[in-house]
Amino acid sequence: MSTPTTPVLMSADNPDGWKFEELLAQLRLELHAKNDRIAGDASPTARMVQANNLGIIDLLSVIEGRQRDTLARLDALRPDPGPGGPPRIGAGAVVTPAPVDPASAIAAPAAPQASVPAGDALSTTSA
């Protein structure tokens, strides 16, 4: 098996690539299909391969959840401009302030007031 040199994920340099979340879903489907093909094999090796595939499918589901969280955070900034548009974060991104929910915002603490001990105060009367 050789290492692919062609980019897989969609990007500005590879606009025809896979969206990460779609690739994850496709991998899960293919692993389920593999498991279905070996379902009738009761050998210990087949059972371990099935268990490994199910573990990988579970991990892919966790990764999909993380990706959905990432997409929600990016969508909160602004709509997806597509692979040819400007990035929403990182180098080349258009800086936009993040929306602040007033209900969850924490007020900044007041600036500390300088206190001057009574004996150190400057006198306005001359001695």
The tens digit of pLDDT for each residue in 14-32 reads 999 999 999 999 999 999 9
14 found inside a domain: no
Q: Is residue 27 part of a domain?
A: yes
Indicate if the alpha-carbon torsion angle 100, 102, 106, 111 is positive or negative. Answer: positive
Comparing C-alpha atoms, which of 72, 61, 76, 62 is closest to residue 29?
A: 61
Distance (Å, whole) CA 84 – CA 12: 5
- Residue 111 pLDDT exceeds 70: no
| Euclidean distance between CA atoms 8 and 26, whole angstroms | 13
Question: Which of the pair, 92 or 94, is modelled with greater confidence?
Answer: 92
Q: What is the pLDDT of residue 127?
A: 46
Whether 104 is in a domain gets the answer no
Q: What is the pLDDT of residues 3-16, one digit of tens each?
A: 768 899 999 999 99
Whole domain around residue 44: which residue ranges?
20-77
Task: Examine residue 52 and state whether it is found in any structural domain, yes or no.
Answer: yes
For the chain, how many structural domains are there in total?
Answer: 1
pLDDT surpassing 70 at residue 107: no
pLDDT at 5: 82
Query: pLDDT tens digits, residue range 33-85?
Result: 999 999 999 999 999 999 999 999 999 999 999 999 999 999 999 999 999 99
